[in-house]
Amino acid sequence: MEDEIRQHEKTVKTALKKQNLSEPFIVGKYRCSPYMACQHGCVYCDGRAERYYVEGDFSRDIVVRTNLAEKLSAEIPRLREKGFITVGSGITDVYQPIEAERELTRRCASIFTSFNSPVSVMTKSALSLRDLDIWGKVAEGPGFMLLISLTFTNDEQRRIFEPGASSVEQRLEALRQFKEAGCNTGILAMPLLPGITDTDENLEALFSRAKEVGADFIMPAGLTLRPGRQKSFFFNCIAQTHGALLPLYRELYRENRESGVAIAGYRKQLADRCAQYNARFELPFLVPHRIYRKRLHTYDEMNILLHHMLELYQARHVDTRPLKQGMEKYMSWLIAQKADYNKKRSVSYRWLERELEDTVASGRMAGLLGNERLAGFFREIVLQGRIFDYVTLELTDPPG
């Protein structure tokens, strides 16, 4: 497959894109990627959707951003705020086969060892193991998290839908070795395919294997099929390989929603089933607080934590209205503070952190939130550095 590709070299003006922190998905503050399009050629990949403007043959025309590492070394020291830098995106894989030859991801990895920014990498490839020496150093310093995307537990099916990606066992082995090297690891169990990987048999096997290799969390999500190229490509494959499932897929994706999601009933049923597996295997479905604690600025940490708590309690069917109101009030406060901070070009992020600490310590946060219980929670996290456990939903003391 590798020798059939066409490499399109490009330079970028900026390396880092800022992420929206109210999106709790992988707690990244910035994102970068040395490639666009992907040799792994997953049949369901939403990189094929028109909205991402990836031109050419998605698995053969690979954009190579040759100056990304240089841009990163120039941009990271100038960042006013730190936070996880995510290497990767949903429309490429930073360890696809071309990386064995170009080593652009490895060059970026080396740069991260000189800076104080935590990093996370998203991939479906065991080529990530090649750089374990470097990522291990980042883990000892600012922090590192490997996110392996895995939904299949047998390679017969996997080969049909993810023809160019690493095998199931290779990906599990990568997770195991990264964990042993002191890195945080998580499984992105997405997209789960109706009637194929969303079955109880597959979920049981997937969660058992995740536990076995010491993953810190497993984040499941369903398949999205955006109308247009992505949906047609996927439906053609299903018609050829799993014809009996075609009526089911037609039914689940009959609404042709722009976001590509399946009908609500299926989404709810899948989320409830997955939440039960997460609870039974004691594997959170979100990046646990202990991983990002003190690796984000306290004000961002609280923002992510509140969004996560909302999801964690909703999954347990708890009434989250008071929490949601408190979260919205905190977000309004934070947006106003950030606007102020952005005007004060001479102060560092510590100014904003102190604003939060003072507001919590003085009791003003309780008035702002209109929720005494939540204000108490803020005191325990912001002032005492406690950790919210995503399995027991209780506060714990930091280690040591």
From the CB of 396, what's the least distance to ligand SF4, in Å? 35
Single out the segment in contact with ligand SF4 by CB under 6 A; choices: 4-12, 91-99, 224-232, 370-378: 91-99
Applying CB under 6 A, among 29, 40, 308, 386 the residue interacting with ligand SF4 is 40
Range 269-278 burial, b when 16+ CB lie within 10 A, else e = ebbebbbebb
What is the radius of gyration, based on Cα positions, of the chain?
Answer: 21
Q: Name the residue nearer to ligand SF4 (CB basis): 145 or 165.
A: 165
Measured CA to CA in angstroms, residue 220 lies from 196, 249, 271, 279 at distances of: 14, 19, 8, 13
Q: How far is the CB of 58 from ligand SF4 (least distance, A)?
A: 7
Residues 131-190 that bind ligand SF4 (CB under 6 A): 165
The DSSP result for 312-346, as a single string, is: HHHHTT---HHHHHHHHHHHHHHHHHHHHHHH-TT
Distance of closest approach, residue 92 Cβ to ligand SF4, in angstroms: 5
Q: Considering only residues 16, 32, 42, 366, which one is a binding residue for ligand SF4 as defined by CB under 6 A?
A: 42
Residues 274-303 that bind ligand SF4 (CB under 6 A): none
One-letter amino acid for residue 202 of the chain: N
The answer to whether the beta carbons of residues 96 and 34 sit under 8 Å apart is: no
CB of 93 to ligand SF4, least distance (A): 4
Handedness of CA 389, 392, 398, 400 (dihedral sign): negative
Round to whole Å and give the CA distance between 60 and 162. 14
Of the listed pieces 88-96, 105-113, 252-260, 350-358, which binds ligand SF4 according to CB under 6 A?
88-96
Tally of residues, the chain: 400
Q: How far is the CB of 44 from ligand SF4 (least distance, A)?
A: 7
Q: Which of 16, 36, 38, 181 binds ligand SF4 (CB under 6 A)?
A: 38
Q: How far is the CB of 126 from ligand SF4 (least distance, A)?
A: 13
Q: What is the DSSP letter of 66?
A: T
Q: With contacts defined by CB under 6 A, how many residues of the chain interact with ligand SF4?
A: 11
Contact pick of 47, 186, 194, 284 for ligand SF4 (by CB under 6 A): 47
Asked whether 216 and 248 are in contact (CB, 8 A), the reply is no
For ligand SF4, the closer CB: 91 or 327: 91
91 binds ligand SF4 (CB under 6 A): yes
CA distance 28 to 90: 13
Subset of 106-135 contacting ligand SF4 (CB under 6 A): 124
Measured CA to CA, the distance from residue 395 to residue 195 in angstroms comes to 38
Interactions with ligand SF4, residue window 304-323 (CB under 6 A): none
The β-bridge partners of 6 are 61
In angstroms, give the least distance from the CB of 38 to ligand SF4.
3
Q: Where on the chain is the footprint of ligand SF4 (CB under 6 A)? A: 38, 40-42, 45, 47, 91-93, 124, 165
